[in-house]
Amino acid sequence: MTEPGDPRPLVNLEGVNKHFGTLHVLKDINLSVARGEVVVVIGPSGGGKSTLCRLVNRLETIDAGKITFDGQELPAEGKALARFRSDVGMVFQSFNLFSHKTILENVTLGPIKVRKVSKSEADKRGMELLERVGIASQAGKYPAQLSGGQQQRTAIARALAMNPKMILFDEPTSALDPEMVQEVLDVMTGLARDGMTMMVVTHEMGFARRAANRVVFMAGGEIVEEAEPDAFFTNPRTDRARDFLSKILTH
């Protein structure tokens, strides 16, 4: 069902609307992400980018419209919802590692408790993943003992440990000191190259140009523009995108 060559989109949003109270946060969103595709979502703060990410693994519910994942509508609750979420990785701006668990335990908890993998097998695979993101030597430490960049790479390994069909990234480098941004982007670029389906909210243009197939520009709860990265950054079609880009380019 999830072969890379499958032409059906992995995620499909149709006429999706979301309100917080009276605030209309997402307006008639139509968006699909193909298998193996990397979509970068960019736009001003408050435009609805995080909400969009959170809808896709149902951390938020929608008011109207339809979201399908792998051809199925998202389960509403209970075990089915938990199982669905285990197939969609999520990497947060603030890492959200489990503070009372070691780095390795953060990575193996999901496989052991959700996938029912044996501890020894989970540990072995967990160490491989920590190796892959370059922090195997920190496996026995606790999150608070690691730098932000190392914590975020742990969070990526934690998502990968579930063998997800897709990973959502919500501003994964925005909380990092500048010198740690690149190490995280490098891991993400590697994932993109290996064919992981990714939706990435970020303002890192270098990453978008290097790794993304498509840029989605969101403002005021709407998708204002969609384009290939180079076209978007060199020649945005809308005033709003142009205006936004001129602002982020000045710093």
Partner 1 sequence: MDDLIKYAPDLLAGFLENVKLSLICAVLALVLGTILVSMRVSPTPVLRGAGTVYVNIVRNTPLTLVLAFSSLGLSDTIGLAFSATPSTNSFWLVVFGLSAYTATFVCEALRAGINTVPLGQAEAARAIGLTFLQSLRLIILPQAFRTVVAPLGSVMIAMIKNTTVAIAGGYLMESAFVMRDTFDDTGVSIPIFVGLVIAFMAVTLPVGFVTSRLASKLAVAR
Give the interface with ligand ADP as residue ranges (CB under 6 A).
20, 23, 25, 45-51
Binding of Mg ion by 51 (CB under 5 A): no
| Distance in angstroms (rounded) separating the CA atoms of residues 212 and 49 | 16
| Distance in angstroms (rounded) separating the CA atoms of residues 151 and 155 | 6
DSSP per position, 102-163: -HHHHHHHHHHHTS---HHHHHHHHHHHHHHTT-GGGTTS-GGGS-HHHHHHHHHHHHHTT-
CB of 228 to Mg ion, least distance (A): 23
Residue from 16, 39, 50, 130 touching Mg ion (CB under 5 A): that is 50
Binding of Mg ion by 202 (CB under 5 A): no
Binding of partner 1 by 162 (CB under 8 A): yes
CB of 72 to Mg ion, least distance (A): 27
Strand ranges in 21-98 using DSSP code E only, listed in sequence order: 23-33, 38-42, 64-69, 72-73, 88-91
Binding of partner 1 by 113 (CB under 8 A): yes
| Distance in angstroms (rounded) separating the CA atoms of residues 94 and 52 | 17
> Which CB sits closer to ligand ADP, 26 or 130?
26
| Distance in angstroms (rounded) separating the CA atoms of residues 65 and 81 | 18
47 contact, one of partner 1, ligand ADP, Mg ion, none, CB 5-8 Å limit per kind: ligand ADP
Sole window of 49-57, 84-92, 95-103, 179-187 interacting with Mg ion (rule: CB under 5 A)? 49-57
Binding of partner 1 by 159 (CB under 8 A): yes
> Which CB sits closer to Mg ion, 57 or 108?
57
CB of 140 to ligand ADP, least distance (A): 35
| Distance in angstroms (rounded) separating the CA atoms of residues 20 and 55 | 13
| Distance in angstroms (rounded) separating the CA atoms of residues 35 and 26 | 24
96 contact, one of partner 1, Mg ion, ligand ADP, none, CB 5-8 Å limit per kind: partner 1
172 contacts: CB under 8 Å, gap ≥ 6: 91, 92, 93, 152, 155, 156, 184, 188, 200, 202
Binding of partner 1 by 156 (CB under 8 A): no
Residue from 17, 32, 68, 86 touching partner 1 (CB under 8 A): that is 86
Per-position x/- string for 20-59, each x denoting binding to partner 1 as judged by CB under 8 A, each - no binding: -------------------------------------x-x
Binding of partner 1 by 152 (CB under 8 A): no
